[in-house]
Amino acid sequence: MVSNFRFASTPNITFGAGKLSELYNIIPNFGKNVLYVIGGSSLKASGKWDEITSEMIKSSINFHSISITGEPTPILIDNAVKNFRQKKIDLIIGIGGGSVIDTGKAISAMILKNYSIKNYLEGVGDKVHDGEKIPFIAIPTTSGTGSEVTKNAVITEVGTDGFKKSLRHDNLIPNFAIVDPELVVHCPPSITAACGMDAFTQLLEAYLSPVSSPFTDALALSGIKEVKENLISVFRYGSSDINGRSAMSYGSLISGIVLANAGLGIVHGFASSIGGMFNIPHGVVCGTLLAESVKANVKKLKQIGPDGEHSLMKYAKIGALIDGNYYETNEDPSYNCSVLIENLEEWTEQLNIESLGKYGISPKDINKIIKKTSLKNNPVHLNHENIKEIVMNRI
């Protein structure tokens, strides 16, 4: 019997190489005063920003822009909102990586509010956002976070008592998402690697989530297949491989859809706790801890016996998929679980994913990390020692 499930809304999605041009047909539906949120340099270096500005001038669109580097902070959002609140913006467009899209999403949500964004962050503030926003279009230039299809913007304040928390509301889902793999072609190898591992982590964790559904499982499997077949090749030869880039863009897009509906596990629990304490890229946290986390989950699932069989079979199915085989449900899952772990370890090495120690994380930080790490939607409960072992093995 098919289990019950709910499925969250997605934006109006346009996918395909060269589809950026459709932006120019969408903009007039919202007005003539546009704010662009872009990254530090890559969009301009690619020549696409010149194309966009030329189209704006030709169409008599009044436009402003803000360029950001790094992850969005409360101060960045509050200042941007203050600077543009009186500009009577009709539409906000975020073109960049996950941080750029989250910034645009947050500005669109906060520009109509008179309080700091910190007041609306989950686990930080005491206010609940009502969903009122300026229309927002998301256009990713990396293949990793899937933020173009989610209802939350992740905001970071790094420090000893720092946080990585979400501004969230169903209405904050972008009005449109344009996923054009041509925008990802010039993505540097290091960002390709970290973002690719983030996308795979999101697909795998959503697939293993206790609240996954046949709908999210089918989507996750389709994304996992594309990422596993293309991640290493686009890392090595990405600048000339539009087919590989398209596959990774698809995997990233699907990862955002499934995480929004099935949630994520321990790896993203670490990304939240570690990302709030240290200045470390989100994708690096995911990439460096994925293999160890899967290893810990598989070990614990075996220990709990029959209650762990369903999740073990799902891990085994992914291991078989990566190995190019079909997993029979009557097989012992141990072999294919080992295949999965070994492949993830190989990817971590081949993609040059750095250890946590490279970012100043040491054994003395572990207890605080554990205290802040959520296990929500992990397929099995891990205790203090299990979690400690994961982190220690990647310092």
- pTM check: above 0.85: yes
> What pLDDT, in 10s, does the model give residues 159-209?
988 999 999 999 999 999 999 999 999 899 999 999 999 999 999 999 999
Instruction: Return the structure tokens found at 274.
Output: 């570690």
Instruction: Return the structure tokens found at 302.
Output: 């075996």
Q: Which domains does the chain have, with CATH numbers?
A: 12-183 (3.40.50.1970), 189-392 (1.20.1090.10)
Contacts of 119 (CB under 8 A, 6+ apart): 125, 126, 127
Residue 157 vs residues 29, 122, 165, 288, 373: alpha-carbon distances, Å: 36, 13, 9, 22, 16
The ranges of the chain with pLDDT < 50 are none
Taking the C-alpha atoms of residue 245 and residue 242, their distance in angstroms, rounded to an integer, is: 5
Instruction: Return the structure tokens found at 60.
Output: 């008599």
Instruction: Return the structure tokens found at 309.
Output: 């069989």
Instruction: Using alpha carbons, select from 283, 249, 266, 273 the residue that is nearest to residue 353.
Output: 283
Residue 2, φ and ψ in degrees, nearest 5 = -75, 130
- The per-residue pLDDT for 44 is 85
- The per-residue pLDDT for 1 is 67
Instruction: Return the structure tokens found at 204.
Output: 């795998």
Taking the C-alpha atoms of residue 1 and residue 223, their distance in angstroms, rounded to an integer, is: 24
